[in-house]
Amino acid sequence: MSRKLRTDPIELAQRNWRSRHWEAAADGMAIVTSVMRVQQIFSSEVETVLKPLGLTFARYEVLMLLDFSSSGELPLGKIGERLQVHPASVTNAVDRLESDGLVLRTPNPRDGRSTLASISPDGRKLAASASIALNQHVFECVGLTPTEQRSAFRLLGKIRHVAGDYR
Amino acid sequence: MSRKLRTDPIELAQRNWRSRHWEAAADGMAIVTSVMRVQQIFSSEVETVLKPLGLTFARYEVLMLLDFSSSGELPLGKIGERLQVHPASVTNAVDRLESDGLVLRTPNPRDGRSTLASISPDGRKLAASASIALNQHVFECVGLTPTEQRSAFRLLGKIRHVAGDYR
DNA sequence: GAAGATTGAGAGTTCAATCTTC
DNA sequence: GAAGATTGAACTCTCAATCTTC
């Protein structure tokens, strides 16, 4: 007696690829598609946990970047660089964090063109509770063994690692 | 003489996690964050290839789903289910595909509430050229060895596989 | 002239509400 | 009443243009 397993849509796509004689690209297509799907899954889990706290993942990342920085403040441009997002996205995220009292904008004393975002005590408190919630409900439930986790991290790192730089 | 390598921001985050005694979640956090970054990378590569063809990845996926379906047509609800997106996103994607002449909307003869999307000859042609471009510029350049690709696919599959179902 | 940040426009996604058909 | 699809509102991201300061 065999348990009925739904076929994997990505394996199906892989077979379809091979049937069109795209053998050389079939595995790559499967990996790209898999990453897209897993990102959807993680993303929706993360947003579910953060929503009651009034945060999105983008704003959470900004908050944690500031929380871990030595002085608790960073130029907006630096934030965009580290998170690999458009300057306009940083402006948007910091606008919202600021109006929620989690972050403060101050002029950069070393450069009149630049603005610093600095984390507030409330911001630090929220960053901590959000992290604890994410640890419990997402990060500790990835569904891989410790060995597999290290392996997955290494493989994803190899994709991110290009020309001596991590991106 | 050693090549200067930029430190990996995700490894840094991992160390920060451990310094806060979140050991149990550190690897999971690193994997979730890595998947988010790799998705950003793949996404931007894919959109760069598809943009000159007037497609987004979402619309490309709809097109391929129809192209591979036996009759060349599917109910909109089925499409949303397979791609794991909101019904409103399917409506939006099909609207655009239809106005570009790549897809046709027809009433479902088996259910008056339902609408079928069916791929047009132009849609099939564009699906083929888009696939060839993606194969060449993205899928064949993932940056992993064949063995590593199979390993990565298996690990991502394990994350997607929950309760006997793939998602 | 170049760099940092902001603004408004355009595109895509999700949600709640609505309409039609089962 | 429930399911399939559509609509409009709210949000986020990206891009091009703009403004200020280097």
Query: For A111-144, how does the pLDDT look when each residue is reduced to its tens digit (9 = 90+)?
Result: 999 999 999 999 999 999 999 999 999 999 999 9
CB-CB neighbours of B12 under 10 Å: 13
Residue B163 pLDDT level (bands cut at 50, 70, 90): confident
Question: At residue B158, does pLDDT exceed 60?
Answer: yes
Nearest to A153 among B9, B34, B136 (CB): B34
Distance measured from the CA of protein residue B13 to the C1' of nucleotide C22, in angstroms: 53
pLDDT at A103: 98
Cα(A45)–Cα(A116) distance, integer angstroms: 31
Query: For A65-74, how does the pLDDT look when each residue is reduced to its tens digit (9 = 90+)?
Result: 999 999 999 9
Among B144, B85, B80, B84, which Cα is nearest to B115's? B80
Query: For B46-60, how does the pLDDT look when each residue is reduced to its tens digit (9 = 90+)?
Result: 999 999 999 999 999
Residue A57 pLDDT level (bands cut at 50, 70, 90): very high
State which nucleotides on strand D lie below 7 Å from a protein beta carbon. 3-9, 11-16, 20-22
Residue B7 pLDDT level (bands cut at 50, 70, 90): confident
Question: At residue A6, does pLDDT exceed 90?
Answer: no
Cα B149-B132-B154 angle, rounded to 5 deg: 20
Residue B1 pLDDT level (bands cut at 50, 70, 90): low
Question: At residue B66, does pLDDT exceed 80?
Answer: yes
Residue A100 Cα, gap to closest chain B Cα (Å): 25
